[in-house]
Amino acid sequence: MSIGPEYYVVLSAVLFSIGVVGVIARRNPLIMLMSIELLFNAANLALVTYARVWANDAGHVFAFLVITVAAAEAAIGLAIVAVTFRRTPFVDVDEVSALKG
Amino acid sequence: MIAFWILAVLMVASAVFTVSAKKPVYSVIGLLANFVCLAGMYLELQAEFLAVIQIVVYSGAILILFVFVIALLSSGVRPFDVGPDRAPRIMIPATILAGLTLIAITVTALRTPSAVVHTPVGVTGDANAFGSVGDFGVALFTANLLPFEVTAFILMVAVIGVVLIAGDDDAVTGSRRKPRRPGKRESIVKDTVAR
């Protein structure tokens, strides 16, 4: 690592912020899911950075778990989007209000 | 050093492109670039195994899933890519929130002591160097065996959930194409719950 870990963590924070904007501001469900993937990846980058800083493999294992959870989340989220879209075609998540209290 | 800055600029640009793209397909392209650059970043951080996993799982599996769902949804009655975004109104609070997040994380990161940055961890490419497959495997199958098994359980639950949600649309959700047979869906749902 020829460059300080702060740079990696700040890059991870920048990516996380971009993902947050995507989740909040976009109304397209697929783009929202992709922004969530961005969030996962930003967190992973920080985990791997600190694993390298402390020369400890636990960070790698945890990033591995995060990747698994991200895969499961993407599969289930896309299944929900597909099923909901099949029932009532929508392009804006605010249109889906069947479960609104 | 140079590699870091190139990858960082590419990653930020592709992330912005992903979030701001008009159509989901363009977002997938941006996300692909982001994931590949992140794999390069992992290599630079001596996480070889994770870099390969990143390519295989994210770029290979998850993005293909996204592409398939976009393709399936776009073949429906109206194009899926014309999402009316309420961007101008909600963009400001979203950006403020994200900026606060950024500042908080940055301040915390810069305060963290980084005394052990230059810990020697072996040469990248060695069989048992830090982050190699052997090293990662030992860490995964000894100290972290239980989390690994939980991973398998999570994946199994996800598979079952996806099959239940999206698999048999007649049984679980009711099909749009076939005429609805009243009573059948309710009985099947009740049957599923009873089981």
For CATH 1.20.120.1200, the residue range(s) in chain B are 1-84
What's the pLDDT score for residue B107?
84
Amino acid identity at A90: F
User: What's the longest Cα–Cα distance across chain B?
Assistant: 69
Residues A57, B119: C-beta atoms closer than 8 Å: no
Window from A58-72, B69-83, B167-181 with minimum mean pLDDT: B167-181
- Contact present, B174 and B185 (Cβ < 8 Å): yes
Q: SS in 3 state form for B124-173?
A: CCCCCCCCCHHHHHHHHHHHCHHHHHHHHHHHHHHHHHHHHHHHCHHHHC
> A39-78: per-residue pLDDT in tens?
999 999 999 988 888 888 888 999 999 999 999 999 999 9
What's the pLDDT score for residue B113?
64
What's the pLDDT score for residue B3?
87
Query: Rounded distance, CA B22 to CA B19, Å?
Result: 9
Q: Chain A: residue nearest B44 by CA?
A: A1
| Phi-psi region at B85: left, alpha or beta (left = phi > 0; alpha = psi -120 to 50) | beta
- Output the pTM of the full model: 0.81
Chain A neighbours among B 36-55 (CB < 8 Å)? Answer: 38, 41-42, 44-47, 49-50, 53-54
* Second CATH level (architecture) for the domain B1-84: Up-down Bundle (1.20)
Residues B121, A52: C-beta atoms closer than 8 Å: yes
Nearest Cα to A51, choosing from B56, B121, B145, B10?
A: B121
What's the pLDDT score for residue A71?
92
Q: Chain A: residue nearest B169 by CA?
A: A83
Q: Chain A: residue nearest B34 by CA?
A: A38
- Give the CA angle between residues A66, A71, A74 to the nearest 5°: 120
Give the containing element (helix H, strand E) for B107. helix B87-111
Instruction: Tell me the domains of chain A and their CATH numbers.
Output: 27-90 (1.10.287.3510)
Interval B104-120 mean pLDDT: 67
Does B26 lie at the interface with A, CB-CB under 8 angstroms?
no
Q: Name the one residue in this structure whose structure tokens are 């072996």.
A: B122
Instruction: Closest CB to B50: pick one of A33, A60, A86.
Output: A60
Amino acid identity at B131: G
Shortest distance between the Cα of B190 and any Cα of chain A, in A, equals 19
